[in-house]
Structure 1
Amino acid sequence: MAKIKHNHFMDTIDEVIGHAKAQGVVHLYAEGPSLNGRQLSIDGKKLLHFGTTGYLGLEQDPRLKQAAIDAIEHFGTQFPLSKTYISHPLYAELEEALTSMYQNPIIITKNSTLGHMAVIPSAVRDEDAIILDHQVHWSVQQATQMLKLRGVPVEMIRHNHMGMLEDRIKKLRGKHKQIWYMADGIYSMYGDAAPIADLKKLCQLYPQLHIYYDDVHGMSWKGPHGTGFIKDAYQDLPEQVLLFGTLSKTFGASGAFLVCPNQDLHRRIKNFGGPLTFSAQLEPSAVAAAVASAKIHLSTEIYDLQKELMEKIIYFNQLLLMTDLPLIEDNNTPVFYIGTGMPDTGYRFVKRLMDEGFFVNLGLYPAVPVKNTGVRITISRHNKKADMQDLLAAMVYHYPKALEETGTTREQVMMQFKKGVKKEVLSNKPVQDLYLTHETSIEAIDKELWNRYMGHNCFDWEGLRFLEGVFKEAKDDIHCWGFHYFVVKDTENTPIVMTFFTSAIMKDDMLATEAVSRKIEELRKAAPRYLTSKVMSMGSLFTEGSQCYVDYEHARWKVALETLLKTVEALNRDAQIRTTMLRDFLAVDDTLKQFFHDKGFIKMDLPVSSKIPHIDWIDSASYVATLSKRSRQHFKKDIAAYTSKFEIAIQGDLSSKELVYAYELYKQVKDRNYGLNTFSYPFELFESMNRHPLWEFLVLRLVDGEYLQTKPMAGIMFCYKNEVRRVYVPSLIGMDYAYSKTYQTYRQLLYQTILRATALKYKSIDFGVTASFEKRKVGARNDKIVAYLQAEDNYTMELIQSM
């Protein structure tokens, strides 16, 4: 089959961040001649700063500033040479100070990202394996990617899920020397922590287990001499633990460092750790500031600073307790996360706080799932108690306003974050002047009404009744679909929104690259349900095209769509469905893109959809005349030259032998198409086609008597006749691959489909997805279409991306 253009994870991120930028909440620039830590200016407005990660405020300490100034005066702005050869004069003092703090060997790196790239490939051997916490920092995850080229397996578990971790350890321990689990000490969005006690127990049970901690958000404000959350939890670091810390953020300077209790490993990394060898070293000013900070950390003053910050953290927690703001993680860290649920609510809440004079961070995809958007507030020593009081007052006032503006309730937000909410609170309220009908069979929907607005492709009224007959009560659960039909009308009984959804088990890699799907299919040989999940999808896995009618001229169309989405969300909740997919919208529709993104959906490219929208010819000759010069050459060389090789038959039904063989040919095509990886349809579908008057079979038989004695056909197109819109729908295809290239079977099937639709005097042909290049050569129009996806978390998407 032809190649499919697949989504790139970075394209999705670009869409989300670009939208947030357009809302004026990210990629901002601070202004003014100076900064003081407590305030900053944006667009000419002074804001109280509640977004720093310099929790102790050391970046404004005059001792660090003066040290940096003096270093520039004495040593220049940089020391342009690799540390492998020689380090500038201040490095030794910093290394000695950090070693004193941690009582273990250390290695200083330019920053955390380069540090992980240096350390991880050096520490992890080819005979080892890696397990990533789903929420471990991006820089750690990226550093592990290069190890795949060396054959090191890299797996991923759900965040802080110790049961999954132990299962992975058991699976890997017989094949690998060391198993590395990589996690953050304190996670940057919610402020939650790694389960240290559980990890210590696992290390005792499984000596092969080694832990790699990124503790950049636990630094300085916690631990003896500010050595961080992890060092505080362990006291003495065992040799099977590697700890990464930062000289930026709370430390107040720049750079990062590794604490490595294993002397041999320390030597190996320092001798040749990629970026350690080939990257520039830290500037003298940064090292001097770090030395000044280390002196504070090694003194008793650090405990006074920690105490002062902790008092403010406790005070802010007390203020929050007096509100009903949805604090997602209750902890004693400087990081607080107030959930807003949908991005639109987050944008509005952040903008309202900025207008009121407060700068906070927006937590959004991919740092958090799209529907777990929220506001991250960080507390530092710069913040005064009066500032915190004012912020809380502003949040208490503006949070419900932001919810109201986006049609969201606090209970819905809590449900999205899985914070216990009574089910009755979540019931949908009637929407004024709108009426939503939800049915589970097409027979409950007026046939004329459905066909007038939704009678496309093979999901007209009769087509859906056919699909219900096959999939509604299927024996195998992977073929058993739930059907849901929705009509939203106004008081005058006029439809505003009309669509249908199916709930079905799908492969999570359906739109992944062919290479990834092949790898996953190998794993499914042992575990057939691996990376599959139940999805509530607009349309169905069988249908394609405009599967949602929206009256954009109606003043209430957005409210009608919101009503639909809330109803679908409630159904998902009851059925414990984790993913919703809204499908087959034109990629150029920016209005819907913004609407769905604001409601917590991310855009995903789908395979191109091909169709001949107007059949304006009467026979083969007039058809060929409509083709471009290049396509006519293609037709002459690759289609007309082989037409005489085939006998073409249009059959309303097939014999039992023919039907079995037709299914085998369908499977030959399906089993080669990893570009759109779905479950194969059951044989019962084809039996139902064979009995249904609106289905017919376009059969190609080679004009070769010897061939026909052993094989009843070389190719077949399974075609639906949409009598409502007069659309011919070649839904599925089967081919004998032993002959397909020799006789150009696929191209011949496309051509004969066009001739059949012409003979029936149909108005158009819906060719569907895949092989769009071949379809364009026979005159089809290719439309870029997209889906909008909403999942409970990013785990599955990131796991597939990591493959």
Structure 2
Amino acid sequence: MAKIKHNNFLDTVDRVITEAKEAGIVHLRAEDSKFTGRHLKVNGVVCRHFGNTGYLGLEQDNRIKMAAMQAISRYGTQFPLSKTYISHPLYEELEEKLELLFKNPVIVTKNSTLGHMAVIPTVVRDEDAVILDHQVHWSVQNAAQLLKVRGIPVQLVRHNNLEMLETLIQKLSSKVSKIWYMADGVYSMFGDYAPVKELIELSKKYPQLHLYFDDVHGMSWRGENGMGYVMSQFDTLPEHVLVFGTLSKTFGASGSVLVCSNNKLYHKIKNFGGPLTFSAQLEPSAVGAAIASAKIHLSGEIYSLQEALKYRINYFNHRLAKTKLPLIAQNSSPVFYIGTGLPATGYFLVQQLMQKGFYVNLGLFPAVPVKNTGIRITISKNNDLEDIDALADLLVTHFGVALGATHNSLTRIGKAFRINFKDTRPFATNKQKVVLQEFESIEDVAYHYWFKTLDSINMLDYKGMLFLEESFKRLKDPKHQWRFKYVVITDDFDHPVLVTFLTESLWKNDMLAPASVSKELEKQREADPDLQTSRVLSLGCLFTEGNHLYLNEAHPQVELALTQLLEYIENLAHQWKVSMTVLRDFELNYNWSKSIQSQGYIPIDMPESCVLQNLQDKVEQEYSQYLSKRSQKHFKKDIEPFMHLVKSNVVKRVSSKNIKTYYDLYLQVKDRNYGLNTFTYPLEAFEAMRTHPNWEFILLKAVDDNRLLGVMFCYKNYSGTYVPSLIGMDYRYLADFQTYRQLLYQTIIRARKLNMKQVDFGMSANFEKRKLGAAVIPKQAFVQTDDNFLLEHIEMMRASN
């Protein structure tokens, strides 16, 4: 089969960030003539600053600023040489003070991103493996990607999931030398901590385990001498633990620092660590500022600064405890995350706060799962108590308004974060004048609802839905059974405003990944068939294509109906405990894209769909005459010369023996097609086809000896759509008879004879279908997951292939 177009994770991120930029949430500019740390001017409004990660306010300390200026005056703006050759005169003093601070050897790097790129490829050997907490900072993940070209396994585990980590350690232990687990000390979004002490105990159980922490958000405000959260968890830094701290953020200067107690490893990194060797060193101003900050850290003053921040953190915690605001991680860090769940609620609340003079950050995809959007508030020593009081009061006032304006609730937010937030109010849409009805079977749906809405699309007529239920509801293997839900939303006059159906089934996580990723996973599935599979709630089902959602666009309550459907789907996903929800088969620039995204979904590209349209107008002459000149050349070269070698006939109600033969040909195709990697359909589905009145089979045979070359499994929707759903081919004869192209052509001829309006060719092999006159239609889906683990894991595999 020909290749298909796959989604690119970065394209999805680009769409989400672009929307946030248009909403005035990100890519803003500070307009201040000078900074005090307490305020920030944005869009002409002077805001109290609750987005600062300089938690101790040292970036505004006059001693540090003066030290930076003096260093520039004495040494200039930069010292443009690699530190491997010669260090700046101030470096020795800085390193001495940092070693006193951390009580261990240190290596200063330009910043944490370059630092990780220097250290990780140096300390991780070819015989090692790496496990990443999937919420570890991007700079660590990016540096770890460099290892894949050396064949080093790099895998993800769910956030702070020690059970999953231990299982993976056990799998890797016999195959590799060292296993490096990489995590943040304090996570920048929710403000939660790495379970450092538990990880140390795990490393005692598995001596291969080495730990690598990025503790840039734990620095200065925690630990002896401000050495950070991770270092505060040790009496002595073990040799199998590496810790990255920062000289920026809370430290108030610039640069980053690696702490390493293993002398052999320390010298190896210092001698050759990529950017350490080939990049310029810190500017004199940064080194001078870092020295001044280190002096403060080594004095008793650091503890008074820590206490001042701690008081503010406790004060804000105390204020929040008196509210019903959904604080996601309750701890002692200066990072607070108020969950909004829906992006729409987050956008609304941030906009309201900024208009009232309070700057906060919005946590949004990909930093957090899209339905875990929330307000990220950072407390610093620059925030006065009256600022904190005012923010708490404003949050209480506007949070409820944001929920109502965006049809959200505390209950809904709690489900998104798996926390029980009690809400006395029902969902915002429950009291509205539209009625949602749900059904278990198409037989329970009033025929007039279905006939007026979805009956004419693809296989979605009544008989087609009955076939799907018969084929997939009661399979012998319960794991592969499908669950169905039909949803009809009507107005007061019983007119349908919205009609759709959903299925819950087992999917391969790599279904839309490049073929190279699926090939690799299929090798691994030989030993573990359930590897990288998930229960998915989907609009429509894997057997059907086209628009699975009917919306009466002209109806005044259409937006209300869509919002209620999305809330229903969200509840159903929780009830059925699925890992992912997929709303699929929408055309690009779909009218309701923003509404769907605002309810916690991210857009992803789907493989393009191919439809041969207006077939009823192409009946008076040879079909090739309707093709473009270029396609006519293809027809004369690749199809016409082989037509005399083959013959076709259409059969219906075939025997069990014959359907098994056709099924074996289908398996030949399925086993070679990784471009759209689904589970193999069971023989039971084909058994249901063979006696179904709407299914027929186009057989392609050799003229000379009647050999069966291939079969097209076709569904007749008598409203005018012909659907060649599946194909089977004997690959021994593929090249000699051009079987695939001949079957495509015979499908068109058959659809013309049946007076069909169009042929839905589906996905894959777009190039071949386009040459026969099919229109290629870009498609997109909207995806919602409990976390980003599934998306990031597949993206990581894509990057390594």
Alignment match, 1:747: 741
Structure 1 residue aligned with 2:776, among 763, 782, 801? 782
Alignment match, 1:115: 115
Alignment match, 1:405: 405
Mapped to 1, the partners of 2:208 and 2:688 lie a distance apart of: 55
Amino acid at match of 2:170: K
Mapped to 2, the partners of 1:427 and 1:139 lie a distance apart of: 40
Mapped to 1, the partners of 2:338 and 2:324 lie a distance apart of: 10
Amino acid at match of 1:90: L
Distance 1:284 1:225, change over 3 A: same
The number of equivalent residue pairs is: 796
8 A contact 2:434–2:490 mirrored in 1: yes
8 A contact 2:429–2:564 mirrored in 1: no
8 A contact 2:449–2:496 mirrored in 1: no
8 A contact 1:71–1:285 mirrored in 2: yes
Distance 1:425 1:531, change over 3 A: farther
Alignment match, 1:357: 357
2:730 is aligned with 1:729: no
Q: Deviations over 1:713-772 (max 9, x none)?
A: 10110001101x221111111111111122211111111111111111111111111111
Alignment match, 1:577: 578
Distance 1:510 1:620, change over 3 A: farther
Mapped to 2, the partners of 1:646 and 1:20 lie a distance apart of: 57
Mapped to 2, the partners of 1:442 and 1:322 lie a distance apart of: 49
Classify the secondary structure of the residue corresponding to 2:660: helix
Alignment match, 2:128: 128
Mapped to 2, the partners of 1:613 and 1:722 lie a distance apart of: 15
Classify the secondary structure of the residue corresponding to 2:486: strand
Classify the secondary structure of the residue corresponding to 1:644: helix
Q: CA deviation at 1:618?
A: 5.2
Structure 1 stretch displaced more, 217-226 or 530-539? 530-539
Q: CA deviation at 1:431?
A: 3.6
Q: CA deviation at 1:303?
A: 0.7
Q: Deviations over 1:657-691 (max 9, x none)?
A: 43222111111111111111100101111111111
Structure 1 stretch displaced more, 351-360 or 649-658? 649-658
8 A contact 1:546–1:584 mirrored in 2: yes
8 A contact 1:342–1:599 mirrored in 2: yes
Query: What is the RMSD of the two structures over their aligned residues, measured on CA atoms?
Result: 1.4
Q: CA deviation at 1:149?
A: 1.2
Matches within 5 A, 1:51-66: 51-66=51-66
Amino acid at match of 1:214: D
Q: Deviations over 1:395-419 (max 9, x none)?
A: 0100000011001111211221111
Amino acid at match of 2:712: M
Alignment match, 1:756: 750
Mapped to 2, the partners of 1:148 and 1:198 lie a distance apart of: 28
Alignment match, 1:714: 709
Mapped to 2, the partners of 1:655 and 1:703 lie a distance apart of: 23
Alignment match, 1:555: 556
Amino acid at match of 1:790: Q
Amino acid at match of 2:17: I
Distance 1:169 1:198, change over 3 A: same
8 A contact 1:731–1:768 mirrored in 2: yes
Amino acid at match of 1:350: V
Amino acid at match of 2:532: L
Mapped to 2, the partners of 1:480 and 1:421 lie a distance apart of: 34
Distance 1:317 1:301, change over 3 A: same
8 A contact 1:253–1:293 mirrored in 2: yes
8 A contact 1:653–1:697 mirrored in 2: no
TM-score (norm 1): 0.97
TM-score (norm 2): 0.98
Matches within 5 A, 1:83-102: 83-102=83-102
Distance 1:40 1:171, change over 3 A: same
Q: CA deviation at 1:443?
A: 0.6
8 A contact 1:255–1:286 mirrored in 2: yes
Q: CA deviation at 1:653?
A: 3.1
Alignment match, 2:679: 679
Alignment match, 1:607: 607
Q: Deviations over 1:513-563 (max 9, x none)?
A: 111111111121111111111111000010000111111222211110111
Classify the secondary structure of the residue corresponding to 1:329: coil
Q: How high is the sequence identity, in percent, across the aligned residues? A: 53
Alignment match, 1:294: 294
Q: Deviations over 1:240-287 (max 9, x none)?
A: 000001110000011101111111111111111111111111111111
Distance 1:767 1:423, change over 3 A: farther
8 A contact 1:178–1:209 mirrored in 2: yes
Distance 1:422 1:401, change over 3 A: closer
Classify the secondary structure of the residue corresponding to 2:404: helix
Alignment match, 2:278: 278
Classify the secondary structure of the residue corresponding to 2:661: helix
Distance 1:429 1:550, change over 3 A: closer
Q: CA deviation at 1:430?
A: 3.2
Matches within 5 A, 1:261-660: 261-420=261-420, 430-455=430-455, 456-589=457-590, 591-617=591-617, 619=619, 621-660=621-660
Alignment match, 1:198: 198
Mapped to 2, the partners of 1:215 and 1:7 lie a distance apart of: 33
8 A contact 1:428–1:567 mirrored in 2: no
Mapped to 2, the partners of 1:571 and 1:697 lie a distance apart of: 37
Classify the secondary structure of the residue corresponding to 1:313: helix
Q: Deviations over 1:329-355 (max 9, x none)?
A: 110010100000000000000111101
Classify the secondary structure of the residue corresponding to 1:545: coil
Amino acid at match of 1:726: G
8 A contact 2:408–2:428 mirrored in 1: no
Q: CA deviation at 1:311?
A: 0.8
Amino acid at match of 2:378: T
Mapped to 1, the partners of 2:317 and 2:556 lie a distance apart of: 44
Q: CA deviation at 1:617?
A: 4.4
Alignment match, 1:767: 761
Q: Deviations over 1:291-328 (max 9, x none)?
A: 11001001111111111111111111111111111111
Distance 1:315 1:421, change over 3 A: closer
Alignment match, 1:802: 796
8 A contact 2:415–2:574 mirrored in 1: no
Classify the secondary structure of the residue corresponding to 1:672: coil
Amino acid at match of 1:129: A
Structure 1 alignment gaps of length 5 or more: none
Amino acid at match of 1:717: M
Amino acid at match of 1:510: M
Q: Deviations over 1:749-799 (max 9, x none)?
A: 111111111111111111111111111100001110111000111111111
Mapped to 2, the partners of 1:203 and 1:620 lie a distance apart of: 76
Alignment match, 2:175: 175
Mapped to 2, the partners of 1:479 and 1:68 lie a distance apart of: 65
Mapped to 1, the partners of 2:168 and 2:317 lie a distance apart of: 37
Amino acid at match of 2:390: D
Alignment match, 1:146: 146
8 A contact 1:479–1:681 mirrored in 2: no
Q: Deviations over 1:451-504 (max 9, x none)?
A: 221011111111001111111111113431111111111112211111111111
Mapped to 2, the partners of 1:477 and 1:648 lie a distance apart of: 38
Mapped to 2, the partners of 1:311 and 1:283 lie a distance apart of: 35
8 A contact 2:407–2:428 mirrored in 1: no
Classify the secondary structure of the residue corresponding to 1:509: coil
Mapped to 1, the partners of 2:387 and 2:192 lie a distance apart of: 24
Q: CA deviation at 1:32?
A: 2.1
